A and B are shown apart, each in its own frame.
Chain A
Amino acid sequence: MRNRQLLACIVLPLIFLGLIGCYPSSQRTLAEEARIKQTIEGYYAKSLEMWMSLTMGDLSGYLDLDSVQTYNKVIVLEELIERWKHALKRGYTEDRREKHKLYFRFDSIEIAGDKAVARVFLSGETAGMPTYPLFVNLGENTYRLRRVDNRWRINEHNYSSKFLYERSKTEKLELDIEKIQEEIDREHRGF
């Protein structure tokens, strides 16, 4: 009996102290995961907003622009916006852009220091003819993130698609708006 009391006196405080010790750590992890989710969801929300308004904005809060791939994401989005602006201005197409819903299922988030990997399944609407912009890749997406200045930013993005939206992960794209407009004019005039 005395032994049991002795054991309880030693073990219970140890368990209690252990729980206190673990609590802030798990809380920290949850907080970091929440911030990573905010970065990924925020990137799409901001990009969709820019695509709908056809106004280029700042994505540096979500993308690590030191990475060639994410830098190219910005360039291609700007290209899409310029293409739409020109085609609509010239009356080449109806404007059927709509902000369709995006659903994020976070399958896993692994954090190691200032780096993280998030596996996300992106799904969207299926009724009617929901036409998502080119930067939305439905299905499995893997994001590698880097914590810079205490903020998580997407550094690399892998997804299943026939082609890479950003066109290159190693070579920075350049935007030639005049050339793009000429190509659109040629195409729509039937040359």
Chain B
Amino acid sequence: MISAPNTVDADNASNIHVGNAQLASSATSAVQSTDLQYSSSRAVSYANAFVHNNNPYFYSTTLNCTNFVSQAVSYRFGSTTGYSSPTSFRMVSGTYTSGWFAGSGGGSGPWENVTRNWDYMISGKVNLNGPRVNVTNWAGLLDGGVVQIDFNSDGRFDHSAICVNRASGIFAQNTQNTYRFHQEYIGPKRYYNPSFFRVH
């Protein structure tokens, strides 16, 4: 019988520190999995470092918002501190539609496209490696959380940004490469807080 990976609880998890990462391993699950959980400060520091200028480790496009957000979220799950090392980011290999990855030459759909990113992040991913998120609202959004906005209120979300100061409602974003106030994002919004990255 294959069961879905357990989320970590205090009774059956062993916690190991590796670099900046805290690993929590499930000891009792039939399918062994490890959930990598981090503080949001890592994503926030990445977003602040590259809000104005793109990290040359990654490609950049004229519509770069979700690429930028994915970089910060991916860095949040990495294990080293450099901004140009593969181990500083955690990605999911696969096809353009199934993976969550990027490099200097481009990225997958869920990495760079607003709608695909949302669909990928909130999808179940049973027995698959990848980031897990909690869908939330503005009241529940945390530092390092992501907002998507439908500027024209036409049901199509147009933009992604990452929260870098929840108390003041400040987001870092690309295209344009700047900070914006939550208060000034006009139109319907949806939010998720990245939670952990599951590795089988």
Chain A contact residues, CB within 8 Å of chain B: 76, 79-80, 83-84, 87, 93-94, 96-97, 124, 126, 129-134, 137-139, 160-163, 167, 187-191
Given contacts A131-B170, A190-B138, contact A162 B158 (CB under 8 A): yes
Please tell me which one of the listed residues B159, B176, B182, B189 contacts residue A93 in the complex, with CB atoms under 8 A apart: B182
B48 within 8 Å of A (CB atoms): yes
Q: Please, which residues of chain A bring their CB within 8 A of the CB of B180? A: 131-132, 134
A162 & B140 in contact (Cβ 8 Å cutoff): no
> What per-residue 1/0 map shows which CB atoms of B59-100 lie under 8 Å from chain A?
000110100000000000000000000000000000000000
B137 & A187 in contact (Cβ 8 Å cutoff): yes
Q: Please, which residues of chain B bring their CB within 8 A of the CB of A131? A: 170, 178-181
The majority secondary structure among interface residues of chain B is: mixed
Residue of B nearest to A191 (CB): B137
The majority secondary structure among interface residues of chain A is: loop
B184 within 8 Å of A (CB atoms): yes
A76 & B183 in contact (Cβ 8 Å cutoff): no
A129 & B170 in contact (Cβ 8 Å cutoff): yes
B143 to chain A, nearest CB (A): 12
Distance between Cα atoms of A191 and B189 in the complex (Å): 12
Q: Please, which residues of chain A bring their CB within 8 A of the CB of B159? A: 162-163
B129 within 8 Å of A (CB atoms): no
Given contacts A94-B167, A162-B63, A162-B159, contact A132 B178 (CB under 8 A): yes
Pick 27 A–B contacts, CB within 8 A, sort by A.
Answer: A76-B186, A79-B186, A80-B183, A83-B184, A83-B186, A84-B183, A87-B183, A93-B169, A94-B169, A96-B181, A97-B181, A126-B52, A129-B179, A131-B178, A133-B181, A134-B180, A139-B176, A160-B62, A160-B175, A160-B176, A162-B63, A163-B151, A167-B186, A187-B137, A187-B138, A190-B137, A191-B137
B55 within 8 Å of A (CB atoms): no
Distance between Cα atoms of A86 and B186 in the complex (Å): 14
B164 & A129 in contact (Cβ 8 Å cutoff): yes
B177 within 8 Å of A (CB atoms): yes
B12 within 8 Å of A (CB atoms): no
A138 & B176 in contact (Cβ 8 Å cutoff): yes
Which residues 26-83 of B have a CB within 8 angstroms of A? 48, 52, 62-63, 65
Distance between Cα atoms of A190 and B178 in the complex (Å): 27
Given contacts A94-B167, A133-B184, A134-B180, contact A189 B139 (CB under 8 A): yes
Distance between Cα atoms of A188 and B175 in the complex (Å): 26
Given contacts A96-B168, A129-B170, A188-B139, contact A138 B177 (CB under 8 A): yes
